[in-house]
Structure 1
Amino acid sequence: MRVVPWFLATSLLVAGPSLAAQHTTTIPAKAIATATQLRETALASHLGYDIAESLTTEVGPRLAGSEADARAVEWAQAKFKALGYDKVWLEEVRFPKWERRSEHGAVVGAHAQPLSLIALGGSPGGRVEGDVVRFADLASLEAVPAGSLAGKIAFIDFHMERARDGSGYGMGSKVRGSGPSAAARAGAVGYLMRSAGTDSHRNPHTGITHYADDITPIPSAALGAPDADQLTRLLARGPVRVHLALDCGWDGETVSHNVIGEIRGRSKPDEVVLIGGHLDSWDPGTGAIDDAAGVSLTMAAGALIGELKQRPARTIRVVAFANEEQGLYGGKAYAAAHLGDIRKHQIAAESDFGAGRIYGFRSGAPDYAQGAVKQIADVLAPLGIAHSPQEGGPGPDIGPFAAKGLAWASLRQDGTDYFDYHHTPDDTLDKIDPEALAQNVAAYAVFAYLAASADGDFGSEAKTVTPPSE
């Protein structure tokens, strides 16, 4: 027990309540009133949808490192400027370049028929043929002895569960991320998986895989759900042989950019509230819900704040992150570039879970700022958003900076049908409900404006933490 001198203890008792009150983060009543009006303005606005329509129509799919990715960077710069942002700039992001050219798969032999499949991001190209060995889950494949699948094609038939919070994707992404390496380690010449998705369409879901350093990568692809079912039925009748031909692979290093726009703050312009989404997408669809929606709704939220007669004290910074899909490269680059300014980052939130209505809000801020978090939650409540202090974590691109001490908030979207379209040809503009997107814009505008108006901070400081996963 630490002993405090009586004279110091007395002074602490006298000053204690005052010091505590000064340290408690609160939001002024005037800002609450402005945010309430801002919420209604945003709900009536079509700006978010218009921006999403522009990106998905004028650029389309934006595979990281592609020509379209470069056009997306130009688009984002121009859009920020057209929306009236005070400052717009680029920050370089480097990463390996993966290209998709073509893919084909088919059952050969007595029951010959084509398969609807797509190469996994990061897969090497190649033509392989072998008998298929089915596994119900990743653990079953990982348990087989090394070399036992020599000359075979491993197939994991894991069924992902539908959930509003997308929790079923955890194992689905592990099957995609770790399955190919497990198959290669067992000696397989190729890898197939039931897509990490919740639909029943012949639209296979792509996504990144990363091979272990101690194995030679093998051609790897995802099957559409009906084709996975078909393969399973064929296997019940006897041996099945599949031919797999992928033309894809890595092609050196390339450069893209985080695109950043700012609405400058009134009295504390060097302090920022960060919101954003990721600019890149996978290539089968037009990247509407993943993540044109996130980029567009945060751009719109910042623009609407910029139109207010009196701006918040702090700056609103919107980031369109580069290459989230293949390894959070934009988020990692941003964290590395701005670690020295972490205390100037008041709080951050990212939208990267589609365009469904937001239903929950929380923040990982310390106890002294939770009163302000509750004030924000109260203004969000008329949007159908509940204060849910135990649910949610920082978005993917916010994660690397949050792990270094950045304060974060989570605005939880309804993802019940998100994985019907995720990483498929069906990720297109018609999957965005304009009214739901307007609700998202309103929520992000309220959050960003109030956080930027707070008296006090939300706890950003350089430290190593383990934030909760989404």
Structure 2
Amino acid sequence: MRALIPAVAAAFLASSAFSAPPSDVGYDIVEGLTTEVGQRLAGTEAEARARNWAVARLKALGFANVRIEPFDMPVWVRGAETAEIVAPFPQKLVLAALGNSGSTPDGGITAEVVGFSSLEALKAAPDAVVRGKIVFVSHRMTATQDGSSYGYFGAARRTGPSIASNKGAAAILIRSIGTDHHRVPHTGVQNWTDGATPIPAAALSVPDAEQLERIIARGKPVQIHLALTPRMTGVHPSGNVIAEVPGRDPKAGVVLIGGHLDSWDLGTGAIDDAAGLAITTAAAKRILDGPKPKRTIRLVWFGAEEEGGFGGDAYAKAHGAEKHALTAEADFGGDRVWQFRTHFADPKAPLLAELTTALGGLGVGPGSSPAHGGTDIGPMVQRGTPVIDLEQDGTRYFDIHHTADDTLDKIDRAQLNQAIDAWTAMLRVVVDTADPLAALPPQPQEN
């Protein structure tokens, strides 16, 4: 009887939760990338491992012309990050440094806090009110299906640190750009404007931000001790991983699709953006496994999106002169597609009716506003490439976005598969449509 125990145990383990998940191209990409690589901060060794992983996976799936196109970028890495209120009610706070944040001295800083209910209130404040203090900016971001609140509320992260610096602040804390109430802070990039001296910049978790609001409202001076030790490590390599589904007609133009390979370093980047890679790759794989399309599909796993869209810029510099028939990207989590939007030279293009028919059966209807693309394909859209946005349900996206909670368990496989179905339906139409897909006028480059 004892001799059977190892065999029984082995059989149990083979059938337990530790065994490999069933084969599914989309889910397998999310599971494999988050498990075998994990977090993938741009320009680091982890992102380099992710590129190698991607090349191996894309070749194994049968894609053609798989390669890495490298580029260089300045690299920022996280250090220690702690904060505590030292008066009037001593207690610790939970926070995360924002990308490109400056550092405190090794021993940290202690300073009085000045609070503002919005970025506009900070802008309007006299410099004397801010100088030498730790600025705190709050707001009330709410969940929306289309993620439209991110543009407005995200400005507190994107530009707040430079505004505070130019007013002489010692540091800045913001309420996380998130819609959850977990004690998990949301990081994200901010870039210093010309003339702004880098200062420590961090996001408080939503509960900690609300706690700080209540303490400030008591009317007593509030002091915080803050220690952040991130640093710039110099210029290092990143890169785009490219794969193709070859088309029959080189003159018909390339259909550019993809998502971004890098992630923030707090979680494992499952919804942002392993899910987007999974959706676009699984859909392209279905086209690859069918009849040869007229147009070539170029699938790009973009590098260094989170730190400022370096991968999209590098792609446009390398391939901007090539004919691109259309572009689309997936970078809004792994939930279902509910709407599509387009931006074509002809607003009554035959392709619009074809897409409406193909996607309608999946419960995906046309939106009323034009598509704009995202960070990675933005440079190609600015050059006049027609664009399609397959809008995913973002109701829960900003609960998880840029946090330590961005992990595999947040993937809803049924919703992920619906998104793959929608992308497949879209691709089947655009790769073979007779619509000429005329280019749009180039858009002005943003400064």
State the TM-score, normalized to the length of structure 1: 0.86
Count of matched residue pairs: 421
- Which of 425, 430, 434 is the equivalent residue of 1:455? 434
Which amino acid letter does the alignment assign opposite residue 292 of structure 1? A
Secondary structure at the counterpart of residue 311 of structure 1: coil
Q: CA deviation at 1:187?
A: 1.6
Aligned to 1:14: none
Aligned to 1:115: 93
- Which of 235, 255, 258 is the equivalent residue of 1:276? 258
Aligned to 1:96: 74
448-457 or 297-306: which moved more?
448-457
Q: CA deviation at 1:321?
A: 0.5
Aligned to 1:157: 138
Which amino acid letter does the alignment assign opposite residue 57 of structure 2? K
> What 5-or-longer segments of structure 1 have no aligned partner?
1-43
Aligned to 1:363: 342
> Which structure 2 residues correspond to residues 219-368 of structure 1 after superposition, within 5 A?
219-237=200-218, 238-268=220-250, 271-308=253-290, 310-341=291-322, 344-367=323-346
Aligned to 1:18: none
Which amino acid letter does the alignment assign opposite residue 41 of structure 2? L
CA distance in 2: counterparts of 1:72 and 1:340, whole angstroms: 28
- Which of 161, 172, 194 is the equivalent residue of 1:191? 172
- Which of 437, 455, 459 is the equivalent residue of 2:416? 437
> What 5-or-longer segments of structure 2 have no aligned partner?
1-21
CA distance in 1: counterparts of 2:382 and 2:143, whole angstroms: 28
- Which of 56, 63, 71 is the equivalent residue of 1:78? 56
Q: CA deviation at 1:201?
A: 0.6
CA distance in 1: counterparts of 2:398 and 2:371, whole angstroms: 18
The answer to whether the 8 A contact 1:402-1:408 is kept is yes
CA distance in 2: counterparts of 1:89 and 1:389, whole angstroms: 38
The answer to whether the 8 A contact 1:402-1:467 is kept is no
Q: CA deviation at 1:85?
A: 0.4
Change (3 A) 1:369 1:305: farther
418-427 or 101-110: which moved more?
101-110
Change (3 A) 1:312 1:369: farther
Change (3 A) 1:327 1:364: same
Aligned to 2:28: 50
CA distance in 2: counterparts of 1:436 and 1:45, whole angstroms: 17
CA distance in 2: counterparts of 1:439 and 1:385, whole angstroms: 10
CA distance in 1: counterparts of 2:324 and 2:348, whole angstroms: 15
CA distance in 1: counterparts of 2:122 and 2:341, whole angstroms: 38
The answer to whether the 8 A contact 2:280-2:423 is kept is yes
Aligned to 1:379: 358
Secondary structure at the counterpart of residue 242 of structure 1: strand
The answer to whether the 8 A contact 1:206-1:423 is kept is yes
Change (3 A) 1:110 1:146: closer
- Which of 101, 105, 110 is the equivalent residue of 1:129? 110
CA distance in 1: counterparts of 2:243 and 2:251, whole angstroms: 13
The answer to whether the 8 A contact 1:392-1:412 is kept is no
CA distance in 2: counterparts of 1:466 and 1:202, whole angstroms: 41
CA distance in 2: counterparts of 1:319 and 1:373, whole angstroms: 24
> Which one scores higher on RCO, CA 8 angstroms, separation ≥ 6?
1
Once the two structures are superposed, residues 359-400 of structure 1 have per-residue CA deviations (whole angstroms, 9 ceiling, x without a partner) of: 111211122762112202211111110022425421221111
204-213 or 452-461: which moved more?
452-461
CA distance in 2: counterparts of 1:365 and 1:233, whole angstroms: 49
Q: CA deviation at 1:101?
A: 2.0
In proportion to residue count, which structure has more helix? 1
The answer to whether the 8 A contact 1:312-1:453 is kept is yes
Once the two structures are superposed, residues 404-437 of structure 1 have per-residue CA deviations (whole angstroms, 9 ceiling, x without a partner) of: 1111111001101100000001111111111111
The answer to whether the 8 A contact 2:87-2:221 is kept is no
The answer to whether the 8 A contact 1:46-1:438 is kept is no
Q: CA deviation at 1:217?
A: 1.3
Q: CA deviation at 1:47?
A: 1.7
Change (3 A) 1:80 1:270: farther
Secondary structure at the counterpart of residue 26 of structure 2: helix
State the TM-score, normalized to the length of structure 2: 0.91
Secondary structure at the counterpart of residue 209 of structure 1: coil
The answer to whether the 8 A contact 2:131-2:169 is kept is yes
Secondary structure at the counterpart of residue 78 of structure 2: strand
Secondary structure at the counterpart of residue 431 of structure 2: helix
Q: CA deviation at 1:239?
A: 1.3
Aligned to 2:148: 167
CA distance in 1: counterparts of 2:208 and 2:409, whole angstroms: 25
Residue 143, structure 1, aligned to residue 124, structure 2: yes
Aligned to 1:212: 193
Change (3 A) 1:414 1:368: closer
369-378 or 157-166: which moved more?
369-378
Identity %: 46
Change (3 A) 1:65 1:125: same
